[in-house]
Amino acid sequence: MNRRGPGLLGAVARTAVVAGTASAVSGRVQQRQQQKWGAQQEAAQQQAAPVQAAPPAPPADDLIDRLERLAELKKQGILTDAEFEVQKAKILGG
């Protein structure tokens, strides 16, 4: 019997087990890191999402029509000067 045979074979087997374990652990660490980076990237993209703009202003013709109707109500005495100014400010967005 050769004394070095089983010892050498045992050392090779242990080395293979250690190398395999290290490889598996390294793979899991890499996978977790990629998941973490992916989550960070997704969060950054969500933060950079465009904010919804304010609704568009009504067309100028509509504003003019509303102001003219408002002026007519004031002229007829239905609105006071103060009421007219308040409603005009609302129409003009101020």
* Whether 85 and 42 share a structural domain: no
At 73 the pLDDT is 94
Confidence band of 30 (pLDDT split at 50, 70, 90): confident
* Whether 43 and 64 share a structural domain: no
* Whether 45 and 87 share a structural domain: no
* Whether 10 and 45 share a structural domain: yes
Percentage, residues of the chain above pLDDT 90: 28
* Whether 2 and 36 share a structural domain: yes
* Whether 45 and 65 share a structural domain: no
Q: Helices in the chain by DSSP H: which ranges? A: 4-47, 60-75, 81-92
Is the residue at 85 inside a domain? yes
* Whether 5 and 25 share a structural domain: yes
Is the residue at 55 inside a domain? no
Contact between residue 91 and residue 70 where contact means Cβ atoms under 8 Å apart: yes
| 64: containing domain | 60-92
Number of domains the chain is built from: 2
pTM of the model: 0.38
